[in-house]
């Protein structure tokens, strides 16, 4: 059940924390496109934001495997650090080149910020879902 909760946490963190930060950066004029992209993506034709949230759920499982037994600083800090580094590195070094998209310093910085907020979101949602005794008070 913990792994299912981790998937849900990653999915929800994508929609709330990642896309929330995306929205703030968009409103600040840092990102030129709005959050919650509903453009359909292959092969299933689901909205891009749903596809992103699905992969956020998978990443949530990986993150939970790393932080589930950690306490306080290691739990919260590990979630933010893993969130910032792992998904960003995979996106910039694998996904973007496969899609023919440019990777620049601004893209890296944006990815680190967005994915760090996602990692924090996973930790928050897991604490709210009762993940291994972690509570929001352990922040």
The pTM assigned to this predicted structure is 0.91
* pLDDT at residue 131 in the model: 72
Burial class (CB in 10 A: 0-12, 13-18, 19+), 37: middle
pLDDT along the chain (139 residues), means of 10: 95 98 97 95 94 98 96 95 98 95 94 98 94 56
Q: State CA 68 to chain mean position distance.
A: 17
């Amino acid at each position: 059940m913990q792994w299912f909760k981790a998937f849900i946490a990653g999915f929800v963190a994508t929609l709330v924390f990642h896309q929330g930060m995306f929205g703030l950066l968009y409103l600040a004029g840092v990102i030129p496109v709005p959050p919650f992209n509903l453009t359909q993506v292959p092969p299933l034709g689901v909205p891009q934001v749903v596809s992103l949230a699905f992969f956020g759920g998978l990443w949530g499982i990986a993150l939970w495997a790393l932080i589930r037994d950690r306490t306080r600083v290691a739990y919260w800090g590990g979630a933010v650090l893993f969130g910032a580094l792992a998904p960003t590195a995979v996106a910039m070094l694998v996904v973007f080149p496969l899609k023919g998209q440019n990777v620049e310093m601004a893209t890296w910085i944006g990815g680190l910020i967005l994915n760090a907020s996602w990692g924090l979101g996973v930790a928050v949602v897991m604490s709210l879902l009762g993940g291994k005794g972690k509570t929001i008070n352990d922040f």
